[in-house]
């Protein structure tokens, strides 16, 4: 059985990751550019289509004009010119003579669908002209004798005294091929322009957001404990942010420092008189002295506990503190060697890779100090301290584990559970407040870590402390 | 054995001095950092009990100054700031052990005893030389197993000689380590106490080396 302290539930509310600013900007700009370019393409092709239609109609109109002029025969009669309508003599375009060439004309009286004259290319078939209605000139699409689409231009004209409708039609295949070719070219051009634009936007965003990346790197350096403050040489828009953050970091450190000094002073202020009272009482006899000794003991434990709580409260949420575990533990173990020099306990320390603790060095020192001290107190001859990295699969957080094993008498599972409780001293003959292990458990929980006691291979106690590590970038 | 106590709280200072004196040590005391530093710098002490929170010059600086000047006497620090970071800082500054306040006087006495013993190169709390046996914890002396009653001066003298047995110890050194700073160094009381001690533990145990001093050694050691 292991006794374990779990971090408070809900301590880590993982924020849903948001898309990066750069990708937001690039995506929005890219979508907008694509839409704008597509609209421009459609508009351009539409314009081109209309212009092409007008040019096509103008071409058809030329043929109508030629037909009209070919239908009028002018004769000079008694000094007066008279016009008579005849079959058009127009042969201007050879395609009108070529059977089903795609180029056709017809002439009919306005009030009758009866075709009077038609081009040879029609081979006597009618030309499906859309109804002209009351207009002078009308253009429209229709189906030609070969089943292909044709564009027909019709003109109503008075020849002599009678209204005629002259229709000229031509297959649109070439016309549409032209337009689609134009559309293809426009699409290609706009795609190239679009790609260039997106690249430009990407570069612009990258360059534009560079100060933010710098701010991030600077903040990360502060978090790593590599820098004291954030670089304030930033563009006008975000410089105040860096200044404010720096002020926050400084104020945060000051608050912690003040609280720590205060706690230290309080400790000194209370503990010295308490030592005097308790020693005075212990050197006297009688029930009063006994009572005072007993109560001084209680006060001492209480003070110790509450000072520790105050210190813990003070160190919460300190921005950007971290420390290397190796030098800190080496120093601690060296000191321990001096303290336990008489006992001849050998402390082995092993850490293969560099690890940074995400938190106050003093707290790491406090936790590992209590564990190693405890192990040295109970060990027969050997204490093993091992530090190794660990990735917590449950939360995917980088952690590290400190194990402290001794070859002492060890504890039963029940005793282990008991040992973590505040103020419990399993052996009253060894000096101590009985707070050591409970402080370790409290501090570990505060950092979102865990603390477990287990049996070691050599029969002694094995303490296992899991704490958050700084991710190396 | 001569001990220096540097503690600014006068009550605690008095308690420490009394307890140490009762345990058979000669004790000098100081109540601020500068005085403490001066005493430790100029007088030969066998151990120092040093509070870290001191007026005028803090305990850590006092300790660092001593170590920088080559003073090697064992130092026990008393601290109310009992986080490991404080303890390690103290040990790194040159302390040999620490006791956190509030403490039991027995604890301080045990630590001081261990420091003095360790400094003289002894592993056990029992110092022996031939038939003479001194139990440091109980403050009891036996010769051939039978208890011997010693006055406090005699006890200090024997304890010092036992801690440094085999070495020649001058009269000045003995005076310096057996009496506090106000003692008249020219008097010949040391010789008187050596004479009395010889009578109690056997005359051949303490050898007089003419012109140099005394040496404790079991008869026939050489």
* CB spacing of B102 vs A282 below 8 angstroms: no
Which of A267, A331, A339 shows the shortest C-beta gap to B97?
Answer: A339
Q: Cβ of B22 under 8 Å from any chain A Cβ?
A: no
Name the one residue in this structure whose structure tokens are 């040391």: B190
pLDDT at A190 over 50: yes
Task: Name B30's bridge partners.
Answer: B6
pLDDT band at A5 (very low <50, low <70, confident <90, very high): very low
Q: Cβ of A338 under 8 Å from any chain B Cβ?
A: yes
Q: Is the Cα torsion angle A24, A27, A31, A37 positive or negative in sign? A: positive
Q: What is the mean pLDDT of residues A75-100?
A: 75
Q: What is the mean pLDDT of residues A20-32?
A: 87
Q: How far is CA B91 from the centre of its chain?
A: 20
Q: What is the mean pLDDT of residues A370-387?
A: 90
* CB spacing of B102 vs A264 below 8 angstroms: no
A192-247 confidence digits (pLDDT tens) = 999 999 899 889 888 988 888 888 888 888 876 667 788 888 888 888 888 998 89
Q: Cβ of B167 under 8 Å from any chain A Cβ?
A: no
Which of B9, B81, B92 shows the shortest C-beta gap to A331?
Answer: B92
Contact call for residues A77 and A91 (beta carbons, < 8 A): no
Name the one residue in this structure whose structure tokens are 């109690």: B200
* CB spacing of B98 vs A339 below 8 angstroms: yes
How many helices (H) and strands (E) are present in chain B, helices listed first?
8, 12
Is this complex scored with an ipTM above 0.90? no
Q: Cβ of B138 under 8 Å from any chain A Cβ?
A: no
B74-112 confidence digits (pLDDT tens) = 999 998 877 888 888 888 888 998 888 888 898 899 999
Contact call for residues A158 and A143 (beta carbons, < 8 A): no
- Give chain B's residues under pLDDT 70: 184-187, 218-222
Q: How far apart are CA B69 and CA B71, in angstroms?
A: 6
Q: How far apart are CA A355 and CA A410, in angstroms?
A: 29
For position B161, what pLDDT does the model report? Answer: 87
Task: Name A452's bridge partners.
Answer: A4, A464
Task: Name A163's bridge partners.
Answer: A158
* CB spacing of B105 vs A283 below 8 angstroms: yes
* CB spacing of B104 vs A268 below 8 angstroms: no
A273: chain B residues, CB-CB within 8 Å = 9, 11
pLDDT at A270 over 60: yes
pLDDT band at A434 (very low <50, low <70, confident <90, very high): low
Which of B92, B102, B105 shows the shortest C-beta gap to A271?
Answer: B102
For position A10, what pLDDT does the model report? Answer: 41
* CB spacing of B102 vs A370 below 8 angstroms: no
* CB spacing of A335 vs B11 below 8 angstroms: no
pLDDT at A306 over 50: yes
For position A45, what pLDDT does the model report? Answer: 93
pLDDT band at A330 (very low <50, low <70, confident <90, very high): very high
User: How many inter-chain contacts (A to B, CB under 8 Å) are there?
Assistant: 90
Under DSSP, the state recorded for A401 is E
CA-nearest residue to A263 within chain B is B81
* CB spacing of B9 vs A268 below 8 angstroms: no
* CB spacing of B11 vs A276 below 8 angstroms: yes
Residue whose C-alpha is closest to residue B16's, from B84, B99, B134, B92: B99
Across chain A, what does the average pLDDT equal? Answer: 83
Name the one residue in this structure whose structure tokens are 């859309």: A130
For position B222, what pLDDT does the model report? Answer: 42
For position A12, what pLDDT does the model report? Answer: 46
SS (H, E, C) A209-243: CHHHHHHHHHHHHHHHCCCCCCCCCCCCCCHHHHH
Q: Cβ of B87 under 8 Å from any chain A Cβ?
A: yes
Which of B9, B98, B107 shows the shortest C-beta gap to A276?
Answer: B9
The whole-angstrom distance between A274's CA and the closest CA on chain B is: 6
* CB spacing of B102 vs A275 below 8 angstroms: yes
Tokens of A247: 């002020």
Q: What is the mean pLDDT of residues A180-199?
A: 93
* CB spacing of A369 vs B92 below 8 angstroms: no
Percentage of the residues of chain A whose pLDDT score is greater than 90: 20
B11: chain A residues, CB-CB within 8 Å = 273, 276, 280
Q: What is the mean pLDDT of residues A242-263?
A: 83
Which of A280, A335, A341 shows the shortest C-beta gap to B88?
Answer: A335
User: What's phi and psi for A316, nearest 5 deg?
Assistant: -65, 140
Which of B15, B82, B84 shows the shortest C-beta gap to A279?
Answer: B15
Q: How far apart are CA B2 and CA B160, in angstroms?
A: 9
For position B15, what pLDDT does the model report? Answer: 92
* CB spacing of B107 vs A278 below 8 angstroms: no
Q: Which residue has the higher pLDDT, B222 or A114?
A: A114
- Listing DSSP states for B119-178 in one string gives HTT--SSEEEETTEEEETTTTEEEETTEEE---HHHHHHHHHHHHTTTSEE-HHHHHHHH
Q: Cβ of A436 under 8 Å from any chain B Cβ?
A: no
For position A435, what pLDDT does the model report? Answer: 61
A275-286 burial, b if ≥16 CB within 10 A, otherwise e? bbbbbbbbeeee
* CB spacing of B88 vs A311 below 8 angstroms: no
Q: How far apart are CA A285 and CA A407, in angstroms?
A: 41
Q: Cβ of A301 under 8 Å from any chain B Cβ?
A: no
Which of A276, A335, A362 shows the shortest C-beta gap to B83?
Answer: A362
CA-nearest residue to B51 within chain A is A272
The whole-angstrom distance between A261's CA and the closest CA on chain B is: 10
pLDDT band at A9 (very low <50, low <70, confident <90, very high): very low
Contact call for residues A157 and A167 (beta carbons, < 8 A): no
Which of A271, A283, A332 shows the shortest C-beta gap to B101?
Answer: A271
A46-78 confidence digits (pLDDT tens) = 999 999 999 999 999 999 888 888 887 777 666
User: Cis before residue A432, ω within 30 degrees of 0?
Assistant: no
The whole-angstrom distance between B119's CA and the closest CA on chain A is: 11
Q: Cβ of B196 under 8 Å from any chain A Cβ?
A: no
For position A36, what pLDDT does the model report? Answer: 93
For position A384, what pLDDT does the model report? Answer: 92
Q: Cβ of A282 under 8 Å from any chain B Cβ?
A: yes
* CB spacing of A369 vs B102 below 8 angstroms: no
User: What's phi and psi for A395, nearest 5 deg?
Assistant: -110, -5
- Give the end-to-end CA distance of chain A in Å, rounded to a whole number: 37
For position B132, what pLDDT does the model report? Answer: 87
Q: What is the pTM of this model?
A: 0.61
Which of B53, B85, B91 shows the shortest C-beta gap to A362?
Answer: B85
Strands B2-6 and B47-51: parallel
For position A317, what pLDDT does the model report? Answer: 56
For position B5, what pLDDT does the model report? Answer: 96
The whole-angstrom distance between A439's CA and the closest CA on chain B is: 11
A365: chain B residues, CB-CB within 8 Å = 83-85, 88
Q: Cβ of B119 under 8 Å from any chain A Cβ?
A: no
A396-416 confidence digits (pLDDT tens) = 778 899 999 999 888 888 888
For position A425, what pLDDT does the model report? Answer: 52
């Amino acid at each position: 059985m292991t006794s374990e302290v779990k971090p408070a539930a809900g301590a880590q509310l993982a924020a849903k990751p948001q898309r990066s600013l750069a990708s937001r900007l690039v995506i929005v700009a890219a979508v907008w550019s694509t839409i704008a370019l597509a609209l421009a393409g459609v508009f351009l092709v539409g314009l081109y289509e209309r212009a092409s239609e007008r040019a096509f109609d103008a071409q058809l109109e030329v043929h109508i004009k030629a037909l009209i002029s070919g239908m009028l025969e002018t004769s000079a009669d008694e000094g007066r010119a008279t016009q008579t309508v005849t079959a058009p003599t127009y042969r201007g375009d050879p395609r009108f003579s070529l059977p089903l060439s795609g180029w056709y004309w017809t002439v009919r009286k306005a009030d009758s669908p009866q075709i009077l004259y038609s081009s040879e290319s029609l081979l006597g078939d009618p030309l499906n002209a859309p109804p002209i209605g009351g207009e002078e000139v009308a253009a429209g699409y229709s189906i030609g004798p070969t089943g292909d689409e044709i564009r027909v231009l019709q003109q109503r004209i008075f020849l002599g005294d009678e209204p005629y409708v002259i229709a000229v039609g031509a297959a649109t295949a070439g016309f549409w091929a032209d337009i689609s070719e134009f559309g293809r070219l426009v699409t290609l051009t706009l795609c190239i322009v679009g790609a260039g634009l997106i690249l430009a936007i990407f570069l612009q965003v990258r360059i534009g957001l560079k100060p933010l990346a710098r701010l991030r790197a600077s903040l990360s350096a502060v978090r790593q404990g590599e820098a004291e403050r954030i670089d304030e040489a930033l563009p006008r828009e975000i410089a105040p942010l860096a200044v404010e953050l720096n002020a926050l970091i400084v104020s945060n450190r000051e608050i912690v420092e003040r609280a720590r000094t205060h706690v230290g002073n309080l400790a000194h202020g209370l503990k010295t008189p308490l030592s005097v009272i308790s020693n005075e009482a212990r050197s006297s006899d009688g029930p009063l002295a006994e009572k005072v000794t007993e109560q001084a003991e209680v006060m001492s434990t209480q003070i110790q506990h509450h000072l520790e709580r105050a210190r813990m409260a003070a160190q919460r949420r300190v921005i950007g503190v971290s420390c290397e575990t190796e030098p800190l533990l080496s120093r601690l173990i060296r000191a321990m060697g001096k303290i336990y020099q008489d006992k001849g306990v050998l402390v082995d320390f092993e850490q293969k890779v560099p690890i940074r603790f995400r938190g106050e060095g003093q707290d790491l020192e406090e936790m590992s100090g209590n564990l190693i001290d405890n192990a040295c107190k109970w060990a027969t001859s050997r204490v093993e301290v091992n530090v190794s990295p660990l990735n917590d699969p449950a939360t995917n957080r980088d952690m590290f584990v400190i194990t402290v094993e001794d070859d002492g008498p060890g504890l039963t599972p029940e005793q282990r559970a008991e040992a973590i409780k505040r103020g419990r001293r399993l052996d009253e003959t060894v000096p101590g407040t009985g707070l050591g292990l409970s402080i370790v458990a409290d501090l570990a929980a505060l950092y979102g870590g865990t603390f477990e006691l287990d049996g070691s291979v050599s029969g002694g106690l094995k303490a296992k402390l899991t704490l958050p590590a700084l991710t190396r970038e | 054995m001569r001990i220096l106590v540097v503690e600014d709280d006068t009550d605690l200072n008095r308690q420490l001095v009394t307890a140490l004196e009762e345990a058979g040590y000669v004790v000098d005391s100081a109540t601020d950092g500068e005085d403490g530093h001066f005493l430790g710098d100029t007088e030969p002490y066998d151990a120092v009990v040093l509070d870290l929170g001191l007026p005028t010059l803090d305990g850590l600086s006092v300790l660092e100054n001593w170590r920088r000047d080559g003073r090697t006497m064992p130092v026990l620090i008393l601290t109310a700031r009992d986080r490991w970071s404080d303890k390690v800082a103290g040990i790194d500054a040159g302390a040999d052990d620490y006791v956190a306040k509030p403490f039991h006087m027995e604890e301080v006495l045990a630590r001081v005893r261990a420091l003095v013993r360790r400094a003289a190169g002894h592993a056990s709390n029992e110092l022996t030389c031939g038939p003479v046996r001194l139990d440091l914890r109980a403050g009891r002396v036996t010769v051939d197993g039978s208890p011997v009653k010693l006055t406090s001066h005699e006890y200090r003298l024997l304890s010092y000689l036992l801690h440094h047995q085999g070495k020649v110890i001058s009269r000045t050194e003995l005076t310096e380590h057996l009496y506090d700073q106000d003692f008249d160094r020219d008097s010949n009381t040391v010789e008187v106490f050596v004479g009395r001690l010889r009578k109690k533990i056997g005359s051949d145990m303490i050898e007089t080396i003419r012109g140099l001093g005394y040496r404790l050694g079991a008869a026939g050691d050489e």
